[in-house]
């Protein structure tokens, strides 16, 4: 079996799926909320499946995402430290992140705690490029990342142990059970590391971490029309970090759960899902009584419907409602968000057309109407050309609006306008696409002087909608096989400009390149991954040097269901720095043994 990333290029990038075999069934959910074949979607979607995640042997979810075209990662140290993800140059909080359909971003910062997510819990990841606010609402200016947790059936189970650099150790296990016409899987993982000195300062202590993650996922068929499904995950742990002022250690306890039902009769399908997510961090300095606690909670309800009106016409629509609340001394600590959307897709043989519109009412802020218009034309043998235009928005966070002493309740939402043109080819074992994109983002929130002064004569600064950015570039993905060797190639050129200051945006590289080659024979498999990160503007006129990262993964199945794997990261031992204030890891090694019964 080929072990490779699936670049499911659909609609705006129609085609180009990195698939294990031609017969494998690829299903995309995030594009329009329903299980659909890639060729029926109108969005650029990259998909990574469990089989490749195991070969990559990542230590964090961002290690997986960084391999995808158009996706950039900025780290503040190693695995246990915070990291941000950018899609096509958009801000990290301009990417909506879902786990099993549940929003998991912090309502105070707008960021996602990727360090609390364990790759052992992940079954697959879908990354949708471009604005999808018309389907999902706030935050989806640059795209949507949806993480699906592992699902095991009766008799399927796994257990794994691993050790590695910086006193890294991990144990994980999972099993599935059947109950009538349903199944439930339970997974558990625990890992810890002493870490390394992450920050460039006078403090030279190692910054380690530990985390425990437990997950459950299941479904139950009640009859030929009704089905129940459920999912949940709990992560708890601790991480150390270096900061000039305040704490140097933090505990986290994050969880989410969802419960849904699906009704299907003929060409009509309806889904109702309720869920909740909590993000909790307790920051402190070891040995002192001072603590800074940040906690946000989000209760969610969604109702989605699909009607296959004919072989040509598909109608999708629904309602989303969620309540966000925060703990702390905020002027306002709760708000409601209500969204309604409708989608129509027409398949006319050579042509595929789609229109989506959505209305969101964000309490105490404003209302936003988002839309997408897309069209694809199929021509020749395996060639497709598609184009689209869409709008999106990001609602201000509680910190932006109500942080004690510095919040600005008069803020409006940040907005984006995106254009995309993609040519793709999918035939004779070659999957390739070339995508041109542009995203104009306006009303960006930045700190600015208010023109007032405090009692000491100092200027008062508050967040304001004053900035603009232009994100444009080219994205290329190619997948092919020769003589049993599977190749993946991805390249992104990005021109990300701060239009207000007429200078490059911080933390963006003009050039990123990825190449991987995988080969399997008898009981062995070998994978080589190369990542090039171009120079990034760090601050003022300082640029971070470009770097090359070369990783190697070697697996050997020494008995039925048993496998040992050696993973070596950064074989060239380069200084990998994506944030100038922090060190990157040097060369690393990891050794794992696993038993899998499938």
We report the CATH number of the domain holding residue 413 as 2.40.170.20
Structure confidence at residue 244 (pLDDT): 53
**Radius of gyration of the chain from its Cα atoms, rounded to whole angstroms:** 23
Question: Does the residue 332 lie in any domain?
Answer: yes
Q: For residue range 479-497, list pLDDT tens digits in order.
A: 999 988 999 999 999 999 9
Residue 122 to residues 4, 149, 285, 387, Cα–Cα distance (Å):
16, 4, 32, 32
Report the chain's mean pLDDT, rounded to a whole number. 89
Apex 504 CA angle, 61 and 578, nearest 5: 35
Q: Give pLDDT, residue 17.
A: 34
Residue 404 has pLDDT above 90, yes or no: no
- The yes-or-no verdict on residue 9 having pLDDT over 70 is no
Asked if the structure places residue 184 within a domain, the reply is no
d(CA 59, CA 191) in angstroms, rounded, equals 10
pLDDT, tens digit, for every residue of 510-531?
A: 999 999 999 999 999 999 999 9
* Higher pLDDT, residue 9 or 472: 472
Taking the complete model, does pTM exceed 0.85, yes or no?
Answer: yes
Give dist(CA 477, CA 18) in Å, integer.
9
The residue ranges of DSSP E strands in 24-156, in sequence order, are: 43-49, 71-75, 83-87, 95-99, 102-103, 122-129, 143-149
Between CA 423 and CA 432 the distance in angstroms is 9
pLDDT at 13: 34
Tens of pLDDT, residues 294-325: 889 999 999 999 999 999 999 999 999 999 99
pLDDT at residue 243 in the model: 64
Note whether residue 185 is domain-resident: no
Q: Would you say 423 and 447 are in contact if contact means Cβ atoms under 8 Å apart?
A: no
**What's the DSSP call for residue 122?**
E
Higher per-residue confidence, 38 vs 451? 451
In this prediction, residue 528 carries a pLDDT of 96
Of residues 340 and 577, the one with the higher pLDDT is: 340
76: in domain: yes
How far apart (Å, rounded) are the C-alpha atoms in residues 448 and 503? 18
| Averaged pLDDT, 355-380 | 94
Q: How far is CA 100 from the centre of its chain?
A: 12
Average pLDDT over residues 540-564: 93
Mean pLDDT, rounded, for 553-576? 94
Flag whether 402 is in a domain.
yes
DSSP tag of 557: E
DSSP code, position 121? G
Q: Which two tokens stand for residue 574?
A: 């380069």
Residue 288 has pLDDT above 60, yes or no: yes
* Residue 15, pLDDT above cutoff 90: no
Task: Report the domain count for the chain.
Answer: 1
Asked, for residue 63, whether it belongs to a domain, the answer is: yes
50, 53, 54, 59: CA torsion to nearest 10: -140
**Which structural domain range is residue 306 located in?**
9-172+191-568
Average pLDDT rounded to a whole number, residues 194-220 = 87
């Amino acid at each position: 079996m080929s072990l490779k990333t699936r670049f499911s290029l659909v609609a705006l990038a129609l085609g180009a799926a990195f698939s294990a075999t031609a017969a494998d069934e690829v299903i995309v959910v995030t594009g329009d909320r329903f299980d659909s074949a890639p060729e029926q979607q109108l969005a650029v979607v990259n998909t990574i499946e469990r089989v490749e995640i195991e070969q990559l042997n990542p230590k964090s979810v961002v290690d997986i995402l960084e391999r995808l075209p158009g996706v950039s990662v900025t780290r503040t140290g190693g695995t246990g430290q915070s990291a941000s993800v950018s899609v096509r140059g958009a801000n990290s909080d301009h990417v909506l992140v879902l786990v099993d359909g549940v929003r998991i971003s912090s309502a105070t910062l707008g960021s996602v705690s990727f360090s609390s997510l364990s790759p052992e819990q992940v079954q697959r990841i879908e990354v949708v490029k471009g604005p999808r606010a018309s389907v999902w609402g706030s935050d989806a200016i640059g795209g949507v990342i949806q993480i699906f947790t592992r699902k095991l059936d009766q008799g399927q189970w796994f257990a794994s142990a691993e050790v590695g650099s910086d006193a890294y150790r991990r144990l994980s296990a999972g099993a599935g059970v059947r109950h009538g016409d349903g199944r439930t899987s339970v997974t558990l993982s625990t890992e810890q590391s002493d870490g390394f000195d992450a920050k460039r300062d006078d403090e030279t202590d190692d910054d380690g971490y530990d985390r425990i993650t437990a997950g459950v996922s299941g479904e139950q068929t009640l009859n030929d029309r009704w089905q129940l499904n459920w999912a949940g995950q709990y992560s708890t742990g601790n991480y150390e970090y270096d900061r000039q002022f305040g704490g140097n250690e933090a505990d986290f306890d994050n969880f989410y759960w969802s419960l849904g039902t699906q009704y299907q009769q003929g060409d009509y399908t309806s889904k109702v899902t309720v869920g909740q997510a909590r993000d909790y961090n307790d920051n402190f300095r070891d040995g002192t009584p001072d603590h800074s606690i940040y906690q946000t909670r989000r209760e969610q309800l969604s109702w989605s419907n699909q009607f296959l009106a004919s072989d040509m016409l598909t109608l999708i629509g629904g309602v989303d409602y969620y309540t966000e609340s925060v703990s702390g001394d905020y002027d306002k600590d709760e708000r409601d968000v209500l969204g309604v959307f409708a989608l129509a897709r027409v398949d006319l043989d050579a042509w595929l057309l789609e229109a989506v519109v959505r209305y969101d009412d964000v309490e105490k802020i404003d209302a936003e109407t988002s839309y997408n218009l897309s069209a694809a034309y199929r021509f020749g043998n395996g060639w497709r050309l598609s184009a689209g235009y869409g709008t999106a928005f990001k609602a201000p966070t509680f910190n932006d609006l109500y942080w004690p002493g510095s919040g600005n309740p008069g803020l409006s939402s940040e907005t984006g306008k995106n254009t995309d043109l993609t040519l793709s080819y999918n035939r004779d074992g070659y999957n390739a696409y070339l995508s041109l994109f542009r995203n104009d983002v306006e009303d960006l929130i930045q700190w600015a002087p208010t023109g007032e002064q405090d009692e000491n004569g100092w200027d008062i600064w508050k967040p304001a909608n004053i900035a603009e950015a232009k994100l444009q570039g080219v994205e290329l993905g190619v997948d092919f096989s020769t003589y049993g060797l599977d190749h993946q190639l991805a390249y992104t050129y990005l021109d990300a400009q701060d239009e207000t200051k007429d200078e490059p945006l911080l933390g963006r590289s003009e050039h990123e390149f990825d190449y991987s080659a995988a080969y399997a024979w008898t009981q062995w498999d070998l994978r080589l991954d190369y990542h090039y990160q171009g120079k990034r503007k760090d601050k003022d006129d300082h640029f971070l040097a470009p770097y090359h990262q070369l990783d190697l993964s070697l697996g050997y199945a020494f008995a039925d269901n048993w496998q040992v794997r050696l993973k070596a990261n950064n074989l060239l031992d380069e200084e990998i720095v994506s944030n100038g204030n922090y060190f990157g890891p040097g060369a690393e090694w990891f050794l794992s043994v696993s038993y899998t019964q499938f």
